[in-house]
Amino acid sequence: LVSKLPEVGTTIFTVMSQLANQHQAINLSQGFPDYPCHPNLTAALAEATNAGHNQYAPMTGVPVLRAAISQKLSLQHGISVNPDTEITITAGATQAIFTVIATVLHAGDEAIIIEPAYDSYAPAVIAQGAVVKRVELSAPSYQIDWSLVEQSISNKTKLLIINNPNNPATTNFSSEDLNQLAMIAEKHDLLVLADEVYEHLVHDDAKHHSVLSHEALRSRSFAIYSFGKTFHATGWKMGYCVAPAALMAEFRKIHQYLVFSVHTPSQYALAKHLEEPAHWKGLASFFAERRRLLADGLNKAGFELIPGQGTYFQLAKYTQIQPQMSDVAFSEWLTKEIGVACIPISAFYASGKDDQVVRFCFAKELATLDKANERLLKLA
Ligand code: PMP
Ligand code: GLN
């Protein structure tokens, strides 16, 4: 067999979580909560299985869930999304991302990825025989320069992949960023994959600007969401894609043969959970204290925090603590010697570019963060 992805190894999330377990380190590396999800959600799942929702769901997702999502989008953005033609339920955001990329890209086409980038985009592009064009955010605060995006476009470019708010950069696009994106996408007739899994995780009164609330972008975008992020249930691997009917029809051709349909009882449980908007509206305040606590600990330990507005991650520069170490060496050292695991940002650059920056996840119990801070104090 000739590998389609010769450069792909084990993901950094798996590597760091394993290392954390091996050394009994507090795992602030891979992004997942260490607290339970809402008891109503698990109760709704049990109810759904007991009610007999245990056979194949319709290919596009169960109607009550698509209707609940349409209702949520209407509350959130004041838009009308047709649940029958414009929404498909997927096995997490990851499957939606892969499906969009497989739907849009033919061999030889080009897709633009903004780095540092979430790790699943590039392999999905390469697996189609398509080509990745990379544009870097500008360090130290990871802002986007849209003129660099435009310069990387050729007549083979078909897809722009954006992640807003951005994991790992933690940046959040302004409405002007969306205008720039729309202008470029229209001018060069590009489709947009908008990974908005952290839509509800914006802090300090920042606002999330969705492609769905931007008319010009909505008409050419696949927007992707994850219930794992929004409902603290990453293990459920449930998400959805929203796109105009013509684009969604093509998406469903791939989805139909990739998975056909996804886990039925979870879909009923999620539909029920969505009925209460408080379940998704209060996320920023839920995370505020955790974010503040971790930032405080990192500051006291001598890290330099990189300001961000979104996601449940905090970026930190460690140059004052270990000036000579690469970010990979630092992450390993911190895990083994201090007992706190993080993620090196170089893993999100194809070139392995090292900004001496690491990522910590604050989707944790306050007690977990307290314990991590205690250990980090050894660095002060
Ligand atoms: N996109 C981004 C930016 C992510 O951080 C993640 C991981 N949570 C995903 C997609 C994948 O989401 P899911 O677990 O729903 O597949
Ligand atoms: N999205 C999670 C993170 O960024 C990890 C998901 C995964 O392990 N693939 O940490």
**pLDDT (average), residues 217-237:** 97
Q: How do strand 131-136 and strand 110-115 relate by DSSP bridges?
A: parallel
Tokens standing for 144?
């986007």
Residue 293 has pLDDT above 90, yes or no: yes
Residue 47 has pLDDT above 90, yes or no: yes
Q: Report how far ligand 1's centroid is from the alpha carbon of 378 (Å).
A: 33
Position in ligand 1 atom list of the atom nearest CA 311: 5
- Domain coordinates in residue numbering, the chain: 12-30+282-379, 40-278
What pLDDT sits at residue 317?
97
What pLDDT sits at residue 377?
96
Residue 327 has pLDDT above 90, yes or no: yes
Other beta carbons within 10 Å of 256: 14
Distances (CA, A) of 280 to 164, 239, 323, 374: 17, 14, 41, 31
Can you name the residues that pair with 131 across neighbouring β-strands?
A: 110
Percent of the chain with pLDDT over 90: 97
CB distance 61 to ligand 2 below 6 Å: no
**pLDDT (average), residues 184-213:** 97
To which residue do tokens 């109760």 refer?
Answer: 43
CA torsion 286-291-292-297 (nearest 10°) is: 140
What pLDDT sits at residue 87?
98
ipTM > 0.95, yes or no: yes
CB distance 13 to ligand 2 below 6 Å: yes
**pLDDT (average), residues 177-197:** 98
Q: Which ligand is nearest to the CA of 363?
A: 2
Residues with CB under 6 A from ligand 1: 31, 92-94, 118, 163, 167, 195, 197, 226, 228-229, 234, 237, 239
CB distance 11 to ligand 2 below 6 Å: yes
Mutate to test the pocket of ligand 2, among 8, 12, 13, 227 (most ligand atoms within 8 A of CB): 13
Q: Report how far ligand 2's centroid is from the alpha carbon of 187 (Å).
A: 33
3-class SS at 24? coil
3-class SS at 171? coil
Q: Report how far ligand 2's centroid is from the alpha carbon of 139 (Å).
A: 22
Tokens standing for 175?
């409405």
Name the CATH code of domain 12-30+282-379 (choices 3.90.1150.10, 3.40.50.300, 1.10.10.10, 3.40.50.460). Answer: 3.90.1150.10
Each as own residue / partner, the long-range contacts of residues 102-107 (CB below 8 Å, 24 or more positions apart, any chain) are: 102/127, 102/128, 102/254, 102/258, 103/222, 103/247, 103/250, 103/251, 103/253, 103/254, 104/158, 104/159, 104/191, 104/193, 104/222, 105/130, 105/158, 105/159, 106/130, 106/158
Q: Report how far ligand 2's centroid is from the alpha carbon of 80 (Å).
A: 31
CA torsion 379-289-200-149 (nearest 10°) is: -30
3-class SS at 189? coil
Beta carbons of 158 and 190 less than 8 angstroms apart: yes
Tokens standing for 334?
């911190």
What pLDDT sits at residue 139?
83
For all residues of the chain together, what is the average pLDDT? 97
What pLDDT sits at residue 118?
96
Q: How do strand 87-90 and strand 239-242 relate by DSSP bridges?
A: antiparallel
Q: Which ligand is nearest to the CA of 359?
A: 2
Residue 22 has pLDDT above 90, yes or no: yes
**pLDDT (average), residues 333-344:** 98
In this prediction, residue 316 has a pLDDT band, given cuts at 50, 70 and 90, of very high
Mutate to test the pocket of ligand 1, among 17, 167, 262 (most ligand atoms within 8 A of CB): 167
What pLDDT sits at residue 375?
98
CATH placement of domain 40-278: 3.40.640.10
Q: Report how far ligand 2's centroid is from the alpha carbon of 180 (Å).
A: 28
What pLDDT sits at residue 205?
86
Residue 2 has pLDDT above 90, yes or no: yes
User: Using DSSP, how many helices (H) and how many strands (E) does the chain show?
Assistant: 15, 13
Position in ligand 2 atom list of the atom nearest CA 118: 4
**pLDDT (average), residues 330-354:** 97
**pLDDT (average), residues 77-89:** 98
In this prediction, residue 43 has a pLDDT band, given cuts at 50, 70 and 90, of very high
**pLDDT (average), residues 138-146:** 92
Position in ligand 1 atom list of the atom nearest CA 228: 15
Residue 318 has pLDDT above 90, yes or no: yes
What pLDDT sits at residue 282?
83
